[in-house]
Amino acid sequence: MNKGIIAAAAAIVFVSGMGVGYSAKPSPAPALYHGKTGQEAAQGLLGLATKQAGDGSWERIAVGRVYYLGGLKDQGQAIFDQVLAGKHDDGDAYRIARVYREAGEAQRANAMFDRYLADNRDDARALSEIGAYALLDGNRERAEQLFDRSFAEERDDMWATLQAAGAYLGVVPQQ
């Protein structure tokens, strides 16, 4: 058989398979949010987002964040607990700590940040970000200790520098 015909046939089969796979993925339908209350629309879309997230820890944490900050803390916390109960890296706990921080639960966030820093002593950006949070919470001494460590690790990281500068002006680090 001609190589060109075989290649064309293979391409058709590949593209057809992609189309089937793509259409099988869940996607938002207007029925999830049209004519619904805000709570109903959010619940429908969050249910879909949970399916779309699959097994990805970052993705599941993002879904949990919306639940948590949207006033559905139990559902968000359940997602966080699932992520932390399974195999996860330090960054997953760090991202969850950021959610707690954003929710105004600084003490809970700080405990997780401290555990992260114990295992990631040389993460210049994390040191600076956590230092910025300390400064924003009024703990300048701790903030400046963390800034010192951050800048000792990496002197030319503009993002770490910017987080520290912003904190002195009351600007929360960008995530």
pLDDT digit string, tens, across residues 88-128: 899 999 999 999 999 999 999 999 999 999 999 999 999 99
| Helix %, strand %, coil % of the chain (to 5) | 75, 0, 25
Residues 114 and 100: beta-carbon distance below 8 Å: no
* Type and span of the H or E element at 164: helix 158-168
Residues 159 and 166: beta-carbon distance below 8 Å: no
Whole-number pLDDT of residue 24: 60
Burial classification of residue 7, based on how many CB atoms lie within 10 Å of its CB (0-12 exposed, 13-18 middle, 19 or more buried): exposed
* Coil vs helix vs strand at 4: helix
Q: Where are the domains of the chain?
A: 35-103, 121-175
- Chain segment 59-71, per-residue pLDDT in tens: 999 999 999 999 9
- Chain segment 149-164, per-residue pLDDT in tens: 999 999 899 999 999 9
Burial classification of residue 119, based on how many CB atoms lie within 10 Å of its CB (0-12 exposed, 13-18 middle, 19 or more buried): exposed
32 band by pLDDT with thresholds 50, 70 and 90: confident
Whole-number pLDDT of residue 3: 55
